[in-house]
Amino acid sequence: MKKLLVCLLVFSLYLSCKNESSSDIKNESETTTSTSKVETAEFAIIIHGGAGTILKKNMTPEKEAAYKAKLEEAIRVGYNILKDGGSSLDAVEKTINVLEDSPFFNAGKGAVFTNAETNELDASIMDGKTLNAGASAGTTTVRNPINLARAVMERSKHVMLSGKGAEIFAKEQGLTLVDPSYFHTENRLESLKRVKEREAQKTNKIDTESAYLDFYDADIKDSKFGTVGCAALDKNGNLAAGTSTGGMTNKRYGRIGDAPIIGSGTYANNATCAVSSTGWGEYFIRAQVAHDISALMEYKGLSLKDAAKIVLDKVKTLGGDGGIVAVDKNGNMVADFNTAGMYRATMNDKGELTIGIYEN
């Protein structure tokens, strides 16, 4: 009988100790979860309208107000789509449409001129959920190239179409086509003339005056810049990014920059982030800017901010400049650039709007 009582006592002590231990483990687990909790936004959207030598001293109050108004108009279109439960793809496409239809930016209506005084347009879009992507390059009659890029992504077996073939596909898909003259704007044509004049001065070795012109004329100094783009996160946790551009002033030979190249100008992956680039395309292609930011986050566990800085520093080391806008899977947004300015705006799930133009 004594042995039985002793056994029962020992067994009771064992159960008590086990419960205590389990309780400690549970509490420790709960503590760890609470301290490592990640703050997330339900949705977010960020846009850019190009980077370059954008200085306040060269901007009139009227022009600055007009740019800010157009950036706000564009981002609110995407914000309202996201707020109402729409997809990040729709938000990106419709937001970029506003920028493409504005003569203020180097995309769509305000596209820069080639050496032959034509406008050749490029665009790309990517779905972070499926990693599907679409792009178009060198089109001259498609009113909204970002719409063509999405059509390529969703209605073809291809990722990129270019030139006349892309325009035939656009017509088959019922996209809006326009006469090439639709894209012409007088200020862009004047920029081309100044760039050509600069080339002639270089050829004739007129050193002092040409150097002055190159440094102080922002249209010439930034003839390689422009581009509009958007990155967004929707309520379903899906990321998307898109980019649209007229390319580089005075470009020849069917030159194509980074904007329509997936991984350079545009990239989106639900596991990491969505990115749209703007800058000197040749260097953004070599550095694979948009994808590299995602890769640093995925493989090294870096934050979006740190990854973007590393990649743009790499671009600078190579000899190029420009910027990016991006949003990560938690709704954190980054607008980073290594130029004097970048047209940009953000809106979060609280409806908070920020608009920026200059470095500070």
Q: Is residue 74 part of a domain?
A: yes
Q: What is the DSSP string of 236-304?
A: TS-EEEEEEE---TT--TT---STTSBTTTEEE-TTSEEEEEEE-HHHHHHHTHHHHHHHHHHHH---H
Number of domains in the chain: 1
Q: Is residue 267 part of a domain?
A: yes
In single-letter form, the type of residue at position 122 comes to: D
State pTM to two decimals: 0.85
Q: Is residue 205 part of a domain?
A: no
Burial class (CB in 10 A: 0-12, 13-18, 19+), 282: middle
Q: Is residue 328 part of a domain?
A: yes
Q: Are 74 and 48 in contact (CB under 8 A)?
A: no
Q: Which domain holds residue 50?
A: 44-185+219-358
The pLDDT averaged over each successive group of 10 residues in the chain (360 residues) is 48 47 36 46 96 84 95 98 98 98 95 95 98 98 98 98 98 98 94 86 56 47 75 98 95 94 98 96 96 98 98 96 97 96 97 94
Q: Is residue 214 part of a domain?
A: no
Q: Are 137 and 160 in contact (CB under 8 A)?
A: yes
Q: How many residues does the chain have?
A: 360
Q: What is the pLDDT, as a whole number, of residue 205?
A: 53
Q: CATH number, domain at 148?
A: 3.60.20.30
Q: Is residue 322 part of a domain?
A: yes
Q: What is the pLDDT, as a whole number, of residue 112?
A: 94
Burial class (CB in 10 A: 0-12, 13-18, 19+), 312: buried
Rounded Cα gap, residues 246 and 120, in angstroms: 6
In single-letter form, the type of residue at position 242 comes to: G
Catalytic residues: 227
Q: What is the pLDDT, as a whole number, of residue 356?
A: 96
Q: What is the pLDDT, as a whole number, of residue 55?
A: 83
Q: Is residue 273 part of a domain?
A: yes
Q: Is residue 25 part of a domain?
A: no
Residue 230's nearest CA partner among 213, 243, 247 is 243
Q: What is the pLDDT, as a whole number, of residue 271?
A: 98
In single-letter form, the type of residue at position 359 comes to: E
Q: What is the pLDDT, as a whole number, of residue 62?
A: 95
Q: Are 319 and 293 in contact (CB under 8 A)?
A: no
Q: Are 231 and 276 in contact (CB under 8 A)?
A: yes
Q: What is the pLDDT, as a whole number, of residue 149?
A: 98
Q: Are 264 and 289 in contact (CB under 8 A)?
A: yes
